[in-house]
Amino acid sequence: MREVSFPVRSLGSAKPVSPTVTDLGEWVRLHKGQATDLITWEVEETLKPQVPAATIPAAGGVFYGDRITAAFSNVANGHISDEFDLRTEDILADCRAAGKIVRGCWWAVPAPQTLHLADAYFDDDDEAAEALADAMTRICRLMRDAGAAGHVLIYDDDPGSMDLEYFLGKRFLRYVPDAFLENVLEVQQDLILSAEAVPHIAELANSYTIRQVYVTDPDAKTLIEICRLFDPEEILLAGTAPEAEQQGYWEGLAELRIRVADV
């Protein structure tokens, strides 16, 4: 019986389980003379399990917000205290480390608003949001110059007009809660949605142009349902690896199949 398989797209990973002292010591020994720290270890530890299961791997995840925030010299204790000035040496070192594992991989990073920085300088919410968005676009541009293919921007709320204006083009892919899918389709034709939201995709397709669909953590039944609306070539499996057993998570997505006869 003929089966259909699907490419796997990574949306990043959860922060991995902390290493033992022995494991970290061995890792430090192997990276002697290099600019590395625990976040670099987290980047490598979460990227390696994606090979070769993920067709489009992505380094990082929400946890990478700590590195981005540290690159803002004007941010302390979650507050913006001055104009944005970037210190990106550690980020560029992470890009080099990731590039040794997967050349030209994507990066999953928190969107500016997901960093939840409070304004203690501009005294104007819109001006602060614009300055933060500009700083993030500069970081993303530097990362692309260092080999990143693009960025998955992870949101925990409505993207808002500021973000929708700043992060345009094929180098950005927005990952938003299902409640805000329509907002995203105003500016991008690739859609990430949960398996639970698949029953609503027909009405979205009637109102917006959808080029590709990324379904997070689906089962076979969900894939059969969506294949009745889109060609299999337009569908990818997507997900965010949990803290533990990340390799098994990616392999499980890659092994998912449906029978052509069931579509």
- The domain spans of the chain are 3-262
Model confidence pLDDT, tens digit, residues 101-135: 999 999 999 999 999 999 999 999 999 999 999 99
Model confidence pLDDT, tens digit, residues 28-84: 888 877 778 999 999 999 999 999 999 999 999 999 999 999 999 999 999 999 999
Query: Cα angle at 178 between 69 and 254, to 5 degrees?
Result: 85
SS3 173: strand
Question: In the chain, pLDDT over 70 holds for what percent of residues?
Answer: 100
Per-residue pLDDT at 13: 98
pLDDT band (50, 70, 90) for residue 1: low
Q: Which amino acid is at 189?
A: Q
d(CA 250, CA 247): 5
d(CA 11, CA 13): 7
For the cut 90, the answer to whether the pLDDT of residue 141 exceeds it is yes
SS3 158: coil
Contacts of 44-48 with C-beta under 8 Å, sequence gap 24+, read 44/97, 44/98, 44/101, 45/16, 45/19, 46/12, 46/13, 46/14, 46/16, 46/241, 46/246, 47/13, 47/98, 47/101, 47/102, 47/105, 48/101
Query: Cα angle at 14 between 248 and 64, to 5 degrees?
Result: 135
Mean pLDDT of 165-178: 94
Per-residue pLDDT at 226: 95
| pTM for this predicted structure | 0.95
Could you give phi then psi for residue 58, rounded to 5 degrees?
-145, 125
Model confidence pLDDT, tens digit, residues 228-251: 999 999 999 999 999 999 999 999
Query: Contact at 8 Å (CB) between 213 and 222?
Result: no
Q: Which amino acid is at 45?
A: E
Model confidence pLDDT, tens digit, residues 195-205: 999 999 999 99
Give the relative orientation of helices 89-101 and 125-145 as an angle to the nearest 10 degrees: 40
CATH class of domain segment(s) 3-262: alpha beta
